[in-house]
Amino acid sequence: MAEFDYDLFVIGAGSGGVRASRIAASHGARVAVAEEFRVGGTCVIRGCVPKKLLVYASQFAEELHDTAKLGWTFGEKTFDWAALRDFVASDVDRLERAYTSTLANNKVEHFAARATVTGPNSVALSDGRTITAKYILIAVGAWPVMPAFPGNEHAITSNEVFHLPTLPRRVVVQGAGYIALEFAGIFNALGCEVTVVNRSDKILRGYEEAMTERLLKITAERGIQYRLGHPITGIEKHADGSMTVSLSGADPIEADCVLVATGRKPKTDGLGLETAGITLGANGEVPVDAYNATACPSIYAVGDVTDRVQLTPVAIREGHAFADTVFGGAPRTIAYDHIPSAVFSQPPLAGVGLTEAQARAEGREIKVFTSDFRPMKNMFFARAERGFYKLIVDAASDKVIGVHMIGPDSPEILQAVAIAVKAGLTKADFDATVALHPSMAEELVLMR
């Protein structure tokens, strides 16, 4: 008889956990995974996928305003929030079925229960069962942080925003990270009155400042109001469902919905890792080494729960590398440099590599190239919004060490550019590339 029930027991069936389970099973391991909510994790169920669908839908509202310039005439135009909400929910259901099928097709046993660690090689399920495994992988992800202030029970997070019964007329968004600004853009485009409040006076900390300044200006012109430096101090809900939102150092705001998006925290509360001798980090994260190993030799962790880089593609790569290392006989790590990122704001921005500020902080001698232009697509719109691209070049090697952009389709363009930056191509390589005309992307090879 086998010493353990399974070779691998995964806690959490998000992107990282599902990938690790599938690859470990392909290496011949006996694998089981426990998920207390829905298979697919944050990205599929309550994150980037349903959010991107809302972005697409809200962008269509903008294009409808200028259909006459495109030669189209329509009758009365109306918007049905419930129809959009329910379609998004149905696509989430479809994706969950696909992820569940992936587990089944790879002979991974799925437990629809909460699992907690009870020792180096054992877990307890919420249905009363105890299971043993040679290895345990923690892949439970992260959870939205709700600041403590009176009335915070009346606010929602990004978890609940996809299930609003009606489209609110007035929305207050607390936070200035990518989640906050993406939802602010969605609600604004759908015709809501949107106010963004934040503790600091900056938005999108860590992104290229030239892009964030441009985004702040454009979104303000689109009607989003900002109360930067004035966080929420309390919410009072009235009998009619409306709310008065009190701010630090500013006048109160009337709202119908308050969305708090002030960051995410590893979801490790009550997970029981202390029973295996694992001490959590300051933010509740599971400390791991380059091979995703914890202080307990039989327990590993991948994804947002490690609080390294909270991005779905990173979790997937970590899960794959873990399975190859432990079960595939091919130990390997992943690189965390040159990870492309995007903010699906309206307009979107994207970047890869070092920002100008980061490069200068490292003491590098750099050259900076920019292109400030009006995208052809924007000629149809009443707002004369301009795109902006920026290249950061290492002066000594001529390598392009950072690319940042804001404007239509920036994330789609950035993915290909990230390959060039990852490969270490030079500014001369960019210059030697023939432009694809007419396109926005051609600006990347025309900067002199």
- Distance (Å, rounded) from C-alpha 57 to C-alpha 51? 10
Return the biggest CA–CA distance within the chain: 74
Q: Which of 163, 230, 338, 437 is catalytic?
A: 437
Please answer whether residues 421 and 404 qualify as being in contact, where contact means their C-beta atoms are separated by less than 8 angstroms: no
Q: Residue for token digits 């485009």?
A: 189
Can you tell me whether residue 397 is helix, strand or coil?
coil
Strands (E), 126-224: 130-138, 142-144, 170-174, 193-198
- What is the separation of C-alpha 194 from the centre of its chain, rounded to a whole number of angstroms? 21
Q: Which long-range contacts (CB under 8 A, 24 or more apart) does 310-316 make?
A: 310/142, 310/264, 311/339, 311/341, 312/15, 312/42, 312/43, 312/47, 312/48, 313/339, 314/339, 315/14, 315/15, 315/16, 315/19, 315/139, 315/141, 316/15, 316/16, 316/19
Q: What are the CA-CA distances from residue 334 to residues 148, 315, 325, 403 (Å)?
A: 37, 10, 11, 22
The reply to whether 320 belongs to the active site is no
- Distance (Å, rounded) from C-alpha 92 to C-alpha 86? 10
List the catalytic residues. 437
